[in-house]
Structure 1
């Protein structure tokens, strides 16, 4: 008999309808998880893409530093823009503009000098400015030759600055290509400051000095056949006096002597040439030295100019020789080598008085030097 009560047989259909919402919630949960995961994935990817897009729109303008590696750069034009371009091309700084800005921010930057520098790459621009101001980063060296130095002094300086044996420089001196008419290397090593770059040889350094001498003479319109004589005259002027005005007067005395003066003829009577020939200091000369005919540089014995320059003259001596003032002086003497006071005259008698005054000064000076040496020995 079939039970037809209200509760009978109703449980099966009701159970089927109650299960549908449960599956729907489960599906929604799974879908939600997938959506969240996808969102996280997209967000993560976006975080990777954004910097790439940012770098494309906003490239690096300055490295964070401190840099690494090593590169050699040559600074020829020490202006901010030119240095920046050079450093950027070498990979030292990120951009030229970064260096220009750092240069403007450092008041010492204008002291950056031309030369060859060894620097790290990928430096902060401000650090690059500081590095260029540090002499320790210079790969080259400065070779300075004072006016009036002899060849022996110059070759010794080249050896010192370049860190090579003196014998190597002396050997190089024999290989220098001299201009036509030059009798020796003496006088042709122009007094100036030179940059010695890595890889340069002593021969390169010496040849640069000779080439510079030719350049300076050419700038002043000196004919090739007159170069050697001009250097000889200028070297005497350089050795005799320091004052620019006195140098012009000494150059005029040389002209007058070579044309012939009353009681000395064409004898120049220059102590500087005698000292050079005997390899002495002027203050060490004796009266006997003035009569020594063993050297052609003794202009107290031999008439006319000596056979070669006696040092490397500077521009003021050269200019004095090329454009001396008018004057009839045939004599001069520096009566005090410490002050440089020099007397000029055309009167032989007055000249002898001036020479006597010099000898008195020299005697006092020698006594002071002797006393000082004795005191130093006593202290030792």
Structure 2
């Protein structure tokens, strides 16, 4: 448990998502820049040699390896390494050709547009990221685009995220409308939320990575995957169905309170000890969840607010439900807490997350002072 104004900041940094594959494009730009400088040098040389330079100029493309996108040149195929190409919304055949040319997929824009116009199915090409091959014949490039085989999106949900944070991240990554998620969450049956959850998805959306097809997946479908993975994890651990909600609730408290994996089984034990003794839990993370604000912004009024059902300073027992999506480490901590008589815990170093546990309130007060000393020294 943590005390007012001393709760360690919970840093839920967004995971890194792969951006566009720009490595090869950057290499091509460097090669083109070098070739451009070489052209200038060669032009100067042609001027110096006069008319004899015409023969060289006529074969300049082959000598320099340059490609003019306006000339109808084509690659023989069959194609090389995979490259991902973003086809913009409302792109014409010419725009598609330009994007493919820049990515090294086709030899010229004109060859692509000719193939695009010759294929009656080209009108079905959808916007999005398509998996292509380098140096493809234009006709093959169009045929591959027509298949609309989009590159999978990777959506990663960090442990400890709330439903609101999960939806926000999903909207950012997938482009699915927030309204679709909101509508699905109001109808739990549409994504298979178990009855134990009592209509609230909090804690039931599994923290992990999902591979998605942006042209196929829906908000309800994504939520279904998340709930399914949570149920699979609970079943794999042989947790009775009637205990699922309580386990997730306790694990979510552990998730939000414990920074280090080795501390989580101790926090789980301290929570159990308090529950067994009928003590209030006094967990700031739960109060903050119910108040709809970060734990670092809690006030004394928040801690006294009896109307907040998640106020573990005013209400004994567990809060009404989970406060976030716990990771499996936190679930395991609840299932296998470390033996001990601890009833208190406090983070004494907000930089390292060092947490100390105590069995008595007197010892806890000493650790509180240790935290205050750290705060004074680190301003």
TM-score calculated relative to the size of structure 2: 0.59
Whether 2:194 is the aligned partner of 1:194: answer no
User: Which residue is 2:98 aligned to?
Assistant: none
The Cα shift of 1:120 comes to: 6.0
1:351/1:252 CA distance change after superposition, 3 Å: same
Give, in angstroms, the shift of residue 361 of structure 1.
4.7
What CA distance in whole angstroms lies between the structure 1 residues aligned with 2:172 and 2:338?
40
Alignment of 1:345-360 (within 5 A): 345-359=358-372
Match of 2:192 in 1: 177
Do the aligned partners of 2:264 and 2:330 also contact (CA within 8 Å) in 1? yes
Q: Tell me the distance in 2 between the aligned counterparts of 1:170 and 1:342.
A: 38
Aligned twin of 1:333: 346
Change in 2 beyond 3 A, CA 1:180/1:339:
same
Q: Following the alignment from structure 2 to structure 1, what is the Cα–Cα distance between the partners of residues 132 and 284? A: 52
- Contact 2:176/2:218, CA 8 A, preserved across alignment: no
Per the TM alignment, residue 283 of structure 1 is displaced from its structure 2 partner at its CA by 1.7
Equivalent of 1:151, from 144, 163, 166?
163
Q: 1:293 to 1:179 in 2, by over 3 A?
A: same
1:231 aligned to 248, 251, 266, which one? 248
| 1:300 paired residue among 300, 309, 313 | 313
- Structure 1 CA distance for aligned equivalents of residues 180 and 289 of structure 2: 24
1:165 matches 2:177: yes
1:252 to 260, 269, 287: 269
Return 246-255 or 276-285, whichever deviates more: 276-285
Change (3 A) 1:277 1:291: same
**Whole-angstrom distance in 2 between the partners of 1:250 and 1:270:** 11
Contact between 1:162 and 1:202, CA under 8 Å: does it hold in 2?
no
Name the SS for the 2:131 alignment partner: strand
Aligned counterpart, 2:62: none
Higher alpha-carbon deviation: 322-331 or 353-362: 353-362
Report how far residue 343 of structure 1 moved.
1.0
Aligned partner of 1:285 in structure 2 is 298
SS at match of 2:196: coil
Alpha-carbon displacement from aligned partner over 1:282-302 (angstroms, at most 9, x marks no partner): 222233322221211011110
Question: Who wins on radius of gyration, i.e. which is larger?
Answer: 1
Q: Determine which of 244, 262, 285 is the counterpart of 1:272.
A: 285
* Equivalent residue runs for 1:1-380 within 5 Å: 64-66=77-79, 118-119=131-132, 139-175=151-187, 176-183=191-198, 184-197=200-213, 198-260=215-277, 265-359=278-372, 361=374
Distance 1:304 1:295 in 2: 14
- Alpha-carbon separation, structure 2, partners of 1:251 and 1:344: 12
Q: What SS does the corresponding residue of 1:181 show, helix, strand or coil?
A: helix
Give 3-state SS (helix, strand or coil) of 1:288's partner: helix
Shift of 1:363: 6.8
Q: 2:207 & 2:239 partners in 1: Cα distance?
A: 18
User: Separation in 2 of the partners of 1:337 and 1:292?
Assistant: 27
SS in 1 for 2:182: helix
Structure 2, unmatched stretches of 5+, are: 1-75, 81-128
Q: How far is the alpha carbon of 1:268 from its aligned partner?
A: 0.8
CA distance in structure 2 between the aligned counterparts of 1:347 and 1:190, rounded to whole angstroms: 36
Instruction: Identify if the C-alpha distance between structure 1 residues 358 and 282 changes in structure 2 by more than 3 Å, giving closer, same or farther.
Output: farther
TM superposition shift of 1:244: 1.3
1:273 and 1:360 mapped to 2: Cα distance?
A: 26
Q: How far apart, CA to CA, are the structure 2 residues paired with 1:337 and 1:173? A: 36
Gap change, CA 1:178 and 1:359, over 3 Å in 2: farther
Q: Is 1:186–1:309's contact at 8 Å kept on the other side of the alignment?
A: yes
Query: Structure 1: 5+ residue runs without aligned partners?
Result: 1-62, 68-115, 132-136, 369-380
Paired positions, count: 244
Relative contact order, higher structure (CA 8 A, sep 6+): 2
**8 Å CA contact 1:275, 1:281 repeated in 2:** yes
Normalized against structure 1, the TM-score is what?
0.59
TM-superposed deviation, 1:121: 11
Is contact 1:296–1:307 with CA below 8 Å preserved after alignment? Answer: yes
